[in-house]
C-alpha cells in the first residue's frame, strides 16, 4: 500500500511539478496527524509535500490558507512558502484508488524545533510574531470571509465541534465530567460578556513549538492547516497546546504577552478571558485525541495526560492561572 502511494506521489510530482520532479531522488515519510507529510529530497534542495486528509478542507479552503501564508511572508512573517505547479496552481490533485487527494508542496525550512529549555526565549519572540500577525490579520480578514472555517464556541467545544466530543466514559470519571461541564458553562458565560472591535479575525490556531522552526535565531511559522476565523486570544491560548499542564507555561505566556504588547494593544478584558481560552483549547484537544487515537502523536498521550487536563481546568476555575500585562 505504502509502496503504491509512493509511486503515485512520485509520478504526480514529476508530472505536475517538473522543476522538482526532474531532480527528485527520493521521498520519505515525516509525520501523520490531520494530513500525511513527506520530504522530497532533490539533492541540494528539499521540499515538504502534504497530502490532505479527504474531507477535512476543500480545495478552495486550502487555496485561501496558502494565500494567507504568502501574504504573511510578503509582510515579513517568516513561513514556508507554497510551491506552484507548472500551470501556476498551489493545490494539485492526485488520483488514488480510494479517491482524489489534494496535494500541496512547500519550500523546505532548515532549522530546529525549539527545545523545552529554550521555550522562554522562543515564546518571547513568538509574542512579536503573533502580535504582528494579528495586526496584519485585521487588515485582510474581510477578504477571507467564507474562504476559511470559523471556530466559534460551537465549533470548538460545542455540539458541532470540529473534532467531536471530549467525553469518553473509560477516560472520564463522574467528578471529572462534572468539572469539565462546569468549565464549559463558565467559558460560554464569559464569551457572552467578551466584546470588542478587534478581538476576532483570521488566526493560525496552532502556533505551538511543534509548528515553529528556529532558523538563524528567527522563528519560521509552519502548518497553517487549521487557520480559521476565531478570537485572537484563542490564538495565544493555542500556542500552549498540549503544554497547558506544565507549570512553566505561565512564565512562557507572560513573556509572550510582554512582547506582544510592544506591537499590539490588549486590555484587561483580554487578559481576564485568556485562561478560559486555555481551558477551552485543552478541552478541544481532549476531543482531538479521541478523533486521532491512532496518530503517532496521540499514541504518546494517555490517561496521565487526561489527569493533567483536569488539573489545568481546576486551576483555571479556581483563579490560579495568573497572567499579567
Q: What is the pLDDT of residue 265?
A: 96
CB 202 within 8 A of CB 227: yes
Strands 82-83 and 26-32: unpaired
Average pLDDT over residues 121-125: 97
List alpha helices for the chain, DSSP H: 2-16, 18-21, 59-74, 119-140, 153-156, 174-193, 232-238, 249-260, 268-291, 303-317
- pLDDT of residue 2 exceeding 60: no
CB 122 within 8 A of CB 114: yes
Q: What is the pLDDT of residue 166?
A: 94
- pLDDT tens, 93-122? 998 877 889 999 999 999 999 999 999 999
- Taking the CA atoms of 155, 139, 124 and 148 in sequence, report the sign of the dihedral they define: positive
Q: What is the pLDDT of residue 298?
A: 85
Average pLDDT over residues 53-60: 89
Q: What is the pLDDT of residue 129?
A: 98
- pLDDT tens, 182-238? 999 999 999 999 999 899 999 999 999 999 999 999 999 999 999 999 999 999 999
Gyration radius of the chain over CA positions: 20
Burial per residue of 50-79, b for 16 or more beta-carbon CB atoms within 10 angstroms, e otherwise: bbbeeeebeeebbbbbbbbbebbbeeebbb
Average pLDDT over residues 30-34: 82
Q: What is the pLDDT of residue 325?
A: 67
- pLDDT of residue 1 exceeding 60: no
- pLDDT of residue 255 exceeding 60: yes
> Does residue 203 sit in helix, strand or coil?
strand
Number of Cα atoms under 13 Å in the Cβ half of residue 118: 15
Label residue 3 by pLDDT band (50, 70, 90): low
CB 20 within 8 A of CB 42: yes
Work out the mean pLDDT of the chain and round it to a whole number: 93
Angle at 207 between CA 32 and CA 56, to 5 degrees: 45
- pLDDT of residue 130 exceeding 80: yes
Determine if residue 319 is left, alpha or beta; phi over 0 gives left, psi from -120 to 50 gives alpha, anything else beta. Answer: left
Where does residue 189 rank: exposed (0-12), middle (13-18), buried (19+ CB within 10 A)?
Answer: exposed
Closest CA to 58 of 108, 111, 102, 7: 102
- pLDDT of residue 140 exceeding 80: yes
Count Cβ atoms below 10 Å from residue 114 Cβ, excluding itself. Answer: 21
Rounded Cα gap, residues 260 and 126, in angstroms: 8
Angle at 162 between CA 295 and CA 290, to 5 degrees: 35
- pLDDT tens, 286-315? 999 988 888 878 888 877 888 899 999 999
Count Cβ atoms below 10 Å from residue 195 Cβ, excluding itself. Answer: 8
Amino acid at each position: 500500500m505504502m509502496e503504491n502511494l509512493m509511486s503515485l506521489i512520485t509520478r504526480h510530482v514529476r508530472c505536475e511539478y517538473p522543476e522538482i520532479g526532474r531532480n527528485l531522488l527520493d521521498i520519505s515519510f515525516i509525520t501523520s496527524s490531520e494530513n500525511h507529510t513527506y520530504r522530497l529530497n532533490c539533492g541540494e534542495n528539499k521540499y515538504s509535500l502534504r497530502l490532505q486528509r479527504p474531507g477535512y478542507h476543500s480545495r478552495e479552503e486550502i487555496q485561501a490558507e496558502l494565500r494567507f501564508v504568502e501574504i504573511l511572508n510578503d509582510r515579513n512573517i517568516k513561513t514556508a512558502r507554497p510551491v506552484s505547479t507548472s500551470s501556476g496552481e498551489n493545490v494539485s490533485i492526485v488520483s488514488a484508488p480510494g479517491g482524489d487527494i489534494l496535494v500541496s508542496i512547500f519550500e523546505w525550512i532548515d532549522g530546529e524545533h525549539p527545545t523545552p529549555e529554550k521555550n522562554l526565549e522562543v515564546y518571547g519572540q513568538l509574542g512579536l510574531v503573533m502580535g504582528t500577525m494579528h495586526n496584519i490579520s485585521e487588515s485582510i480578514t474581510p477578504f477571507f470571509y467564507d474562504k476559511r472555517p470559523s471556530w466559534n464556541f460551537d465549533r470548538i467545544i460545542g455540539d458541532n465541534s470540529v473534532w467531536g466530543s471530549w467525553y469518553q466514559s473509560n477516560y472520564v470519571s463522574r467528578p471529572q465530567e462534572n468539572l469539565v461541564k462546569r468549565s464549559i458553562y463558565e467559558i460560554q458565560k464569559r464569551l457572552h460578556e467578551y466584546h470588542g472591535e478587534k478581538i476576532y479575525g483570521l488566526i493560525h490556531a496552532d502556533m505551538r513549538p511543534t509548528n515553529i522552526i528556529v532558523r538563524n535565531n528567527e522563528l519560521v511559522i509552519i502548518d497553517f492547516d487549521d487557520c480559521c476565523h476565531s478570537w485572537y486570544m484563542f490564538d495565544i491560548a493555542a500556542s500552549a497546546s498540549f503544554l497547558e499542564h506544565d507549570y512553566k507555561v505561565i512564565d512562557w505566556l507572560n513573556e509572550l504577552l510582554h512582547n506582544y504588547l510592544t506591537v499590539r494593544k490588549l486590555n484587561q478584558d483580554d487578559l481576564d478571558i485568556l485562561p478560559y481560552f486555555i481551558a477551552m483549547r485543552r478541552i478541544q484537544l481532549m476531543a482531538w485525541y479521541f478523533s486521532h487515537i491512532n496518530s503517532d502523536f496521540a499514541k504518546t498521550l494517555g490517561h496521565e495526560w487526561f489527569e493533567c487536563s483536569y488539573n489545568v481546568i481546576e486551576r483555571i476555575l479556581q483563579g490560579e492561572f495568573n497572567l499579567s500585562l
